[in-house]
Amino acid sequence: MAQNSALFSELMSDLHPPLSGHEAGVESDRCYFCYDAPCVTACPTGIDVPLFIRQIQTNNSAGAAKTIFDENILGGMCARVCPTETLCEQACVRNSAEHQPVKIGALQRFATDTLMSAGTHPYQRATVSGKKVVVVGAGPAGLACAHRLAMHGHKVDILDANPKPGGLNEYGIASYKTPDNFAQREVDFILDIGGIEIKNEIQLGRQVQLGDLLEQYDAVFIGVGLKEANQISLEGASLDGVEDAVNFIAKLRQTEDYSALDIGRRVVVIGGGMTAIDAAVQAKLLGAADVTLVYRRDKESMNASVFEQDLAQTNGVKIIHHAAPVRFIGEQSNLTEVEFEYTQQVNGKLQGTGETFTLQADHAFNAIGQVLQAGVVDADVVALENNRIAVNEERQTSHQNIWAGGDCIAGGDDLTVSAVQDGKLAAESINRYLSS
């Protein structure tokens, strides 16, 4: 490909450049500081948005960051990747046909970045409790849980299957949303509280079993995410060039030389969620001439937000609705085309119309969802619901010593901010259990 690695790095630069101090001051002046602020209710972690914006307005950015971190210790990442346009900013009372909502996400990033760059941690550990908790998974849920437990004075070991901590934030989010190694810088910030040790490349169900952890620790938190991609069982799915989108994004996030990634000229992405959008946009930024995202239902049914869909199209990604893959076609083991069938809704059910079309493709990325990895959780130890871990409101499982949170729990949202809330709630529940 003609583009060099330096240019790729520039293309993968910050999707939303940070606000300057002056810009943050001007934007904070737009807030009405509602006493019954709907933005707070819309935030899964319940951040006091009017308070932290008022603190920015009065030049107290450190206080604003503390207000954010009190509810969401991963507030820096969430400021970058949260779909604020469907959460707090959608609920903003300024949001109307005539006015734009307050840029809550950008203001949150300004505050958290300011405090994190100061190099001081805003929290101290309580008196050491003598209790040990193991957190399985160093993603958003696990990190949030571990930090809150450490605040309460408990010793925490985090076990993670990957070479690096961070989970989804490190391996599953587009590079242009989290540049400059922010995921690892945030992990370092969280660990600054002390009392937390991360042990990498240890996978539950392989190197260690739940039963072993129950014997060694006073409580267990499971935040393993959904690491196994749903597979498309179609003719040609084993051709070279057919790949899971999650693997593509993970590979892209860990590479130091973008020019070494041979994306090809024609890319097809199958799916309608955030992963599909991330894969499609990054393929386009990497130099693919033609990128097409194909989704089996209509635009309104896509899990990706309208903002994400518009972002894809702005970057030159074509989106085709009402079409499902039929087969992958290749020559000498290499993918050359993907055949699709148009779909329609009949009595609420999706059906093929019989009319087909093909798209030429060097690469096809499957982004049709993920599932709990087989063998990770023993169903004889904790109850499952729809192949995810069943939990109560406190994120406690059917076993009294085990809690869980994030994508791996039944009803879990595919959002960093929701995973953080799960980890926080579980940590408070664990602390109550250990203190009783």
Q: What is the pTM of this model?
A: 0.94
What integer pLDDT is reported at residue 2 of this predicted model? Answer: 37
What integer pLDDT is reported at residue 13 of this predicted model? Answer: 67
Question: Which position has the token pair 């948005």?
Answer: 49
pLDDT of 1 > 50? The answer is no
pLDDT of 48 > 90? The answer is yes
Q: Domains for the chain: give ranges and CATH numbers.
A: 15-117 (1.10.1060.10), 132-226+372-435 (3.50.50.60), 229-369 (3.50.50.60)
pLDDT in tens, 57-76: 999 999 999 999 999 999 99
What integer pLDDT is reported at residue 8 of this predicted model? Answer: 53
Query: For 168-182, 205-219, 310-324, which range has the lowest pLDDT when averaged over its residues?
Result: 168-182
Kindly state the average pLDDT of the residues 107-136.
96
What integer pLDDT is reported at residue 135 of this predicted model? Answer: 98
Q: What confidence category does residue 3 fall into, taking pLDDT thresholds of 50, 70 and 90?
A: very low
pLDDT in tens, 407-426: 999 998 889 999 999 999 99
Tokens of 83: 């779909």
pLDDT in tens, 323-354: 999 999 999 999 999 999 999 999 889 999 99
What integer pLDDT is reported at residue 414 of this predicted model? Answer: 83
Q: Which helix (H) or strand (E) holds 359?
A: strand 349-360
pLDDT of 12 > 80? The answer is no
Other CB atoms within 10 Å distance of the CB of residue 288: 22
Distance CA 91, CA 84 (A): 9
Distance CA 376, CA 388 (A): 11
pLDDT over 70, % of the chain = 97
pLDDT of 364 > 90? The answer is yes
Farthest-apart Cα atoms in the chain, separation: 68
Whether residue 45 contacts residue 417, with contact meaning beta carbons closer than 8 Å, is answered with yes
What integer pLDDT is reported at residue 413 of this predicted model? Answer: 82
What integer pLDDT is reported at residue 10 of this predicted model? Answer: 56
Q: What confidence category does residue 257 fall into, taking pLDDT thresholds of 50, 70 and 90?
A: confident
Query: For 56-60, 82-86, 198-202, 372-376, which range has the lowest pLDDT when averaged over its residues?
Result: 372-376
Kindly state the average pLDDT of the residues 260-282.
93
Kindly list the distances between the CA atom of residue 228 and the CA atoms of 119, 125, 254, 369, in Å, as whole numbers in the listed order.
37, 36, 19, 9
Kindly state the average pLDDT of the residues 254-265.
84
pLDDT in tens, 148-174: 999 999 999 999 999 999 999 999 998
Whether residue 161 contacts residue 138, with contact meaning beta carbons closer than 8 Å, is answered with no
pLDDT of 38 > 80? The answer is yes
Distance CA 280, CA 276 (A): 6
The amino acid present at 182, given as its one-letter code, is F
Q: What confidence category does residue 373 fall into, taking pLDDT thresholds of 50, 70 and 90?
A: confident
* Angle, in degrees to the nearest 10, between helices 104-117 and 61-71: 100
Q: What is the CA radius of gyration of the chain?
A: 22
Kindly state the average pLDDT of the residues 26-36.
95
Average pLDDT value over all residues in the chain? 93
What integer pLDDT is reported at residue 98 of this predicted model? Answer: 87
